[in-house]
Structure 1
Amino acid sequence: MNTISRLDPAKLKFARELRCETIVGLANKLGVSRQAVSNWENGNRIPEFNMIQGISKELNVPYSFLVSKEKICISSSMALFRSKVAIPKRTLISFEKILDLYSVFVRETENLVSLPKFRLSSLILKNKDFSILDEKIIENRAKKVREFSSLGNGPISNITALLERAGIMIAYVSEPKSGVYALTKKINNRYFILLNVYEQSAVRIRFSLAHELGHILLHSNYDSGIYKNTVLHKRLEKEADLFASILLMPQDGFLLDVIRPTLGGLTLLKPHWKVSIQSMVMRLCQLGILDESHKIMIFKEISRKYSRFNEPYDNGKNKIKIDYPSLMNAAFEFLNNQGVDYKNYFSKEGMPIEFIQKEFSYLSFLDMQNRRANKVPHLRIVK
């Protein structure tokens, strides 16, 4: 048998889990036994060329991905999901494989161009054992991020760019009905955030990114068992929410702008601070400006006039625009301007550019001449 047609067992399992498919389900689609697929994944048997093509079609991955020699080696010390309570395990695995695929793409890109390294290591809490964090500790970390990035006390114009400049890799996907909202994972000593932005407004996405940054800085060193404990996980989420609120709405700057803590007054502030009205209400409660009765009153007013998932400026002509990840697009524009044949490189590695762009639709590898890569720092050709 021609060695170019040899299936990589690990790639088959990866692709199957990526597509949230079971061994039985794939076997039925291919018209083979469950044992046959199991043998392929275990490396006990090798399918013929035509069968590999069938696998490629059914799992919607390139043939070259299944047979390429490039290994998918994922070293992870942290994986924290944000999702609905009851999510099938294979759905969580599928979401994790999406992020793993992105990490492989980033890893291969770094063979061509240098990308910013993680720059916030000094701000990560060292605690390995779970403990309830004092609000002052959380506030201190949020302030340190602002100081590190020279942000002052005003609104953060683009938090996606802020995280990317700090060396955090961000990927957006749009997965309806998955029930998974976000995944933060440390892979090969680099932090990755995957957001499901399906039907999410710009302000919700911004808060989610700040929330995930909170997990990185506050909870990175915890044992993985803590993340899986339902009760402790709720506490981690609460702490990450508080971090996000403080980071996006620092007391000294935010309160200067709050003239009327009413629905009308907060609606006027929303385009400036780029946070939801509900988030502003919660922040004002944290700061003692609003009590529980006022919070409930404003929330009811939002539900009556609008929707808790469709506030003013979330949709329509005047909606706040989503800040999409731009670092990888800038990196490939840089490679394009340097005359690097990255398309051929990725094809040889079994990851055709067309495949990556289909998986992560915000990425663009075409018509890049009008963008300016020199706005993104720390890019240079790898020799």
Structure 2
Amino acid sequence: MSKVGSMLRLARQLRGFPQNEAAECLRLPNTELSRIENGLKEPTAQLLDTAAEIFSVPVEFFGQTDAIYGAPISVHAPMWRKKSNVSATELHRIVAELNVRVMHLRKLLEATDLDPVNKLPRFDADEYDNDAEKIAGLLRRFWQVPDGPIQDLTALVEEAGILVAHSDLGGSTVSGVRFSVPGMPHIIVLNRQQPADRMRFTLCHELGHVIMHGYPTPNMEEEADTFASCFLVPTEDVKPYFAERRVDLRLLAALKPEWKVSMGSLVFAAKRAGFLNETQARYIWKQFNIQKIRLREPPELDFPVEEPRTLSDLISLHINDMGYSVADLSKVLMMNETEVAKTYSIELPGQEKGRASHLRIIQ
């Protein structure tokens, strides 16, 4: 069966068009577009040319035969519907972006070999009594993470073969999402509009899903939050930082750049470590509200965003080592040149980055 209709739907959702609006732009009845997208009718060449222009994709985009996947378990209907500010159109747009990223990755990996530095274990939550703090400690030991703050969480995650990307996520308020499909590395996409502390927590939250959750459970989001909190700020490691000190906004602000987590995360850590009781924690949260820093902590405490490397290394390998131009990549990835350059932050040939690549060309 032809997949042209499926790819037409993917392009429409990628650009944030509801079906009725797309049908109007394409000048055909909504029912006809529905039949085309569901494979009940073949589109004309003229329709595909028009769709390519409206959705800003090469017409060759519609000829791809890759499998298209639905939403990952951590963002499936019941959990996302609680986020009243995330519309169905935004959800479709994010899932479409994830599918396109997988399609790109599949093409890019045809010429390269991804060689993770660390293994990626599985610690199923139900096998550890749903104790996310224990699992966080096990993973730190498995990866031999030194005690104390993690300096570059993104590097640590990518060294285990997980790909990390930054995106606007269709302009939504979703902080991040992970995507796992058969035969491909896990992908975690983070919303680049959030501060670095939130990006690190979101990345660690999604890592928790990868490690602990093979299927949906009622408490999986809370477990992933606990995992992230304890992986980034282990209870025993943080105790010396609170010992014989008053836990207040001043101390939390001082510790934030050292631990690279939010002041709010440090409140939870102090409570977990026994340095705040319920009443004291409630008082500090009131101070957050008075200072109006509950939703956005002081910008002067922000630290630099961690930059992912693996995807940019893949692109760099094609350009610098294999002689691809941006136009060549555009044809391979079936995306216009401007979008390829923006999506993958393409650098000029010959530019190098500090961290060593763990990619090699397949001979």
Checking the alignment, whether the CA contact within 8 Å between 2:236 and 2:273 is kept in structure 1 is no
Please point out which of 265, 274, 286 is paired with 1:279: 265
Paired letter, 2:83: V
Alignment correspondent of 2:357: 376
Checking the alignment, whether the CA contact within 8 Å between 2:58 and 2:335 is kept in structure 1 is yes
Provide the C-alpha distance between the structure 2 equivalents of 1:299 and 1:126, rounded to a whole number of angstroms.
Answer: 30
Provide the C-alpha distance between the structure 2 equivalents of 1:210 and 1:348, rounded to a whole number of angstroms.
Answer: 32
Provide the C-alpha distance between the structure 1 equivalents of 2:51 and 2:265, rounded to a whole number of angstroms.
Answer: 46
Go from structure 1 to structure 2 and tell me whether the alpha carbon gap of 1:126 and 1:78 turns closer, same or farther (over 3 Å shift). farther
Q: 1:192-227, CA deviations, whole angstroms, 9 ceiling, x for partnerless residues?
A: 2122232x11101111111111111111x22x5x4x
Alignment correspondent of 1:144: 138
Q: 1:59-100, CA deviations, whole angstroms, 9 ceiling, x for partnerless residues?
A: 23232312x3x3221467953127553343343222111111
Please point out which of 35, 49, 53 is paired with 1:53: 49
Paired letter, 1:245: S
Go from structure 1 to structure 2 and tell me whether the alpha carbon gap of 1:148 and 1:369 turns closer, same or farther (over 3 Å shift). farther
Paired letter, 1:133: N
Alignment correspondent of 1:166: 160
Please point out which of 24, 27, 42 is paired with 1:28: 24
Please point out which of 130, 133, 138 is paired with 1:133: 130
Paired letter, 1:276: S
The number of residue pairs the alignment matches comes to 353
Paired letter, 2:158: E
Provide the C-alpha distance between the structure 2 equivalents of 1:176 and 1:349, rounded to a whole number of angstroms.
Answer: 20
Q: 1:264-319, CA deviations, whole angstroms, 9 ceiling, x for partnerless residues?
A: 1111111110111110001111222201111121122122224212213xx25x63
Provide the C-alpha distance between the structure 2 equivalents of 1:178 and 1:164, rounded to a whole number of angstroms.
Answer: 25
- Which deviates the most, 149-158 or 206-215? 149-158
Confirm whether residue 303 of structure 1 aligns to residue 292 of structure 2: no
Paired letter, 1:73: A
Go from structure 1 to structure 2 and tell me whether the alpha carbon gap of 1:7 and 1:77 turns closer, same or farther (over 3 Å shift). closer
- Which deviates the most, 236-245 or 271-280? 236-245
Paired letter, 1:333: S
Paired letter, 1:371: E
Go from structure 1 to structure 2 and tell me whether the alpha carbon gap of 1:76 and 1:96 turns closer, same or farther (over 3 Å shift). closer
Alignment correspondent of 2:280: 294
Confirm whether residue 322 of structure 1 aligns to residue 301 of structure 2: no
Output the TM-score relative to the length of structure 1.
0.82
Alignment correspondent of 1:194: 189
Provide the C-alpha distance between the structure 2 equivalents of 1:127 and 1:117, rounded to a whole number of angstroms.
Answer: 27
Tell me the secondary structure at the aligned position of residue 148 of structure 2: coil
Go from structure 1 to structure 2 and tell me whether the alpha carbon gap of 1:374 and 1:193 turns closer, same or farther (over 3 Å shift). closer
The alpha carbon displacement at 1:126 in A equals: 7.3
Go from structure 1 to structure 2 and tell me whether the alpha carbon gap of 1:277 and 1:250 turns closer, same or farther (over 3 Å shift). same
Go from structure 1 to structure 2 and tell me whether the alpha carbon gap of 1:353 and 1:103 turns closer, same or farther (over 3 Å shift). farther
Provide the C-alpha distance between the structure 2 equivalents of 1:148 and 1:337, rounded to a whole number of angstroms.
Answer: 35
Tell me the secondary structure at the aligned position of residue 122 of structure 1: coil
Provide the C-alpha distance between the structure 2 equivalents of 1:275 and 1:112, rounded to a whole number of angstroms.
Answer: 37
Checking the alignment, whether the CA contact within 8 Å between 1:214 and 1:240 is kept in structure 2 is yes
Please point out which of 34, 42, 55 is paired with 1:38: 34
- Which deviates the most, 171-180 or 200-209? 171-180
Checking the alignment, whether the CA contact within 8 Å between 2:23 and 2:29 is kept in structure 1 is yes
Alignment correspondent of 1:364: 345
Provide the C-alpha distance between the structure 2 equivalents of 1:27 and 1:78, rounded to a whole number of angstroms.
Answer: 28
Confirm whether residue 254 of structure 1 aligns to residue 226 of structure 2: no
Go from structure 1 to structure 2 and tell me whether the alpha carbon gap of 1:76 and 1:31 turns closer, same or farther (over 3 Å shift). closer
Structure 1: 5+ residue runs without aligned partners? Answer: 1-5, 227-231
The alpha carbon displacement at 1:121 in A equals: 4.1
Tell me the secondary structure at the aligned position of residue 171 of structure 1: strand
Checking the alignment, whether the CA contact within 8 Å between 1:74 and 1:188 is kept in structure 2 is no
The alpha carbon displacement at 1:55 in A equals: 0.9
Checking the alignment, whether the CA contact within 8 Å between 2:124 and 2:211 is kept in structure 1 is yes
Go from structure 1 to structure 2 and tell me whether the alpha carbon gap of 1:207 and 1:382 turns closer, same or farther (over 3 Å shift). same
Superposition RMSD in Å: 2.8
Checking the alignment, whether the CA contact within 8 Å between 2:16 and 2:90 is kept in structure 1 is yes
Go from structure 1 to structure 2 and tell me whether the alpha carbon gap of 1:56 and 1:241 turns closer, same or farther (over 3 Å shift). same
Checking the alignment, whether the CA contact within 8 Å between 1:123 and 1:144 is kept in structure 2 is no
Tell me the secondary structure at the aligned position of residue 254 of structure 2: helix
Please point out which of 52, 61, 83 is paired with 1:65: 61
Go from structure 1 to structure 2 and tell me whether the alpha carbon gap of 1:110 and 1:169 turns closer, same or farther (over 3 Å shift). same
